[in-house]
C-alpha cells in the first residue's frame, strides 16, 4: 500500500500595511475559515505607528513591526531595513495589503517575484495613487482591480488576476468614494483567491505572463 503524500506546510506570509487593514482581515478570515487555504500569516509590518492593520494583527496574536522612512538617513537605508525585518520571518510570499510605500532595490533583490500588490484599476491603465479618480475622469464604462507582482516600476509588475467593476451613471468624480468601495469589495476577494492559489499550487513568471499551478507540471 503506497504511503500517503506528505502534506505541504502552509506558505509563510508577511503582510505589509499602511492603513485600516481590511485586506489583511480578509486574509485572516480566509485562513481561519479554511484549514486547506494553504497559508499562514507569520508577521505584519507597517510604515507608520497606530495603523488599524497592526492592531488587527496584534489581536490575532501575530508578530508585528514598524519601519518608518523618517527613522532612516536615506530612503535606501529604509528599504534595506524593511527587507531585513521581513527576512527575519522567512516568508514564502510578501503581501502588500494597502502598503503605501514603494519598495526599492534591496527589497526587490530579496523578495522580487514573490511580493504581491493590489491596485484599484485595470492595469496597465491608470497606475499610481489616483487610479479610481483617473478612470472616472477618462470616462471608462468599466474599471476594476488588479493583483500583480511588484517590480521596480509603479504598478507595472506582472499581472496575477483582475476583477471588473461596472461604472454607472451615478459614479461621478464627486462620488469617487462609492465606486472605490465597490472596487475594494472585489479586490479583497481577488486577493484572497490569488494568494491562496499561489500558496497551495505555486507559480512561475515567464516574461510578463504569470502561471498559477504546480511549478514543473
Catalytically annotated residue among 72, 119, 130, 203: 119
**C-alpha span between 95 and 31 (Å, rounded):** 14
Q: Which fold has domain 119-217?
A: Rossmann fold (3.40.50)
Mind spelling out the 3-state secondary structure of 163-210?
A: EEEECCCCCCHHHHHHHHHHHHHHHHHHHHHHHHHHHHHCEEEECCEE
Tens-place pLDDT, residues 79-136: 999 999 999 999 999 999 999 999 999 999 999 999 999 999 999 999 999 999 999 9
Cell of 16: 505589509
Q: What superfamily would CATH give domain 9-111?
A: Formyl transferase, N-terminal domain (3.40.50.170)
Same topology between domain 9-111 and domain 119-217: yes
Active site residue 119: yes
Q: Enter the pTM of the model.
A: 0.94
Digitized pLDDT (tens) for each residue of the chain, 217 residues in all: 555 556 789 999 999 999 999 999 999 999 999 999 999 999 999 999 999 999 999 999 999 999 999 999 999 999 999 999 999 999 999 999 999 999 999 999 999 999 999 999 999 999 999 999 999 999 999 999 999 999 999 999 999 999 999 999 999 988 899 999 999 999 999 999 999 999 999 999 999 999 998 655 4
Amino acid at each position: 500500500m503506497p504511503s500517503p503524500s506528505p502534506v505541504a506546510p502552509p506558505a509563510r506570509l508577511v503582510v505589509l500595511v499602511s492603513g485600516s487593514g481590511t485586506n489583511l482581515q480578509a486574509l485572516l478570515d480566509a485562513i481561519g475559515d479554511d484549514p486547506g487555504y494553504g497559508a499562514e500569516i507569520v508577521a505584519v509590518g507597517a510604515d507608520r505607528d497606530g495603523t488599524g492593520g497592526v492592531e488587527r494583527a496584534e489581536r490575532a496574536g501575530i508578530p508585528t513591526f514598524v519601519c518608518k522612512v523618517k527613522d532612516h538617513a536615506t530612503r535606501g537605508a529604509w528599504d534595506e531595513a524593511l527587507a531585513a525585518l521581513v527576512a527575519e520571518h522567512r516568508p514564502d510570499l510578501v503581501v502588500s495589503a494597502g502598503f503605501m510605500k514603494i519598495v526599492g532595490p534591496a527589497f526587490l533583490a530579496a523578495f522580487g517575484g514573490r511580493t504581491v500588490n493590489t491596485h484599484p484599476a485595470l492595469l496597465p491603465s491608470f497606475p499610481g495613487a489616483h487610479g479610481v479618480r483617473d478612470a472616472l475622469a477618462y470616462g471608462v464604462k468599466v474599471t476594476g482591480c488588479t493583483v500583480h507582482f511588484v517590480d521596480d516600476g509603479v504598478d507595472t509588475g506582472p499581472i496575477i488576476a483582475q476583477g471588473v467593476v461596472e461604472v454607472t451613471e451615478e459614479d461621478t468624480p464627486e462620488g469617487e468614494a462609492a465606486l472605490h468601495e465597490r472596487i475594494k469589495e472585489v479586490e479583497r476577494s481577488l486577493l484572497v483567491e490569488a494568494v491562496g492559489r499561489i500558496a497551495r499550487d505555486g507559480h512561475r513568471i515567464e516574461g510578463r505572463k504569470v502561471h498559477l499551478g504546480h511549478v514543473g507540471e
